[in-house]
Amino acid sequence: MQKKLFVTGIGTEVGKTFCSAVLVQYFHADYWKPIQSGDLHYTDSMKIRDWAGDNVFCHPETYRLKLAASPHQSAAEENKLIRVNDFQLPQTSKPLIVEGAGGLMVPLSDSELMIDLIEKLKLPVALVVRNYLGCINHSLLSIMALKERGLIIDTLILNGVFPPDTERIIINYTERKTKIIRFPDIHSMTIENITAIAKQLTNL
């Protein structure tokens, strides 16, 4: 069975697209962003092509929304209603990396959240964590929410440098079967840098 992962984060701007690009390179995978909310001039799919290579196939977004805001707000601005049942996994014979928008509790509508979409798609999760004040709280809450839904945390990605005390607590609350990988801070998002990090990964 080909690898399929849903990349989510403990919050916004934690590096989900960067991490997705590395995973796309590592698995030689397709990419899918179900909801693009804002930045239509340079979408996450466009970034993936720039960072992971032109040969990467990016499946079209189910929703492309103009306003850079929470999906439920962006959709409301365009008189649209996002429903979890609107989404179907793209058909592909290759591995697939799916990237969410924001964190688990980002609303898609007044009654559905990003975690509902993950549950509907039945995908294991790659949870991206970045160090900032409050990241321990956000990490543990995210882990608890995923466990409560019975969703599998396949991989925990520690994106950037972490104080040992912070890293230890987060890992202590991560199940042993979850793979833990560390990505370095990089200052230039280039295909060369993404490829170099992907080549260092093993046994995912």
Give the residue ranges of the annotated binding site: 13-18, 37, 44, 99-102
Q: Which of 33, 80, 120, 147 is catalytic?
A: 33
Q: What CA–CA distance (Å, rounded) separates 163 from 125? A: 24
**Tokens representing 99?**
């990237």
Known active-site residue 33: yes
149: phi then psi, degrees, rounded to nearest 5: -85, -5
Q: From the annotation, which residues make up the binding site for ATP?
A: 13-18, 44, 99-102
Q: From the annotation, which residues make up the binding site for Mg(2+)?
A: 17, 44, 99
Q: What CA–CA distance (Å, rounded) separates 80 from 178? A: 37
185: phi then psi, degrees, rounded to nearest 5: -70, 135
- On whether the CB atoms of residues 157 and 19 are closer than 8 A, the answer is yes
Q: What CA–CA distance (Å, rounded) separates 67 from 61? A: 15
184: phi then psi, degrees, rounded to nearest 5: -75, 160
Task: Please list the active-site residues.
Answer: 33
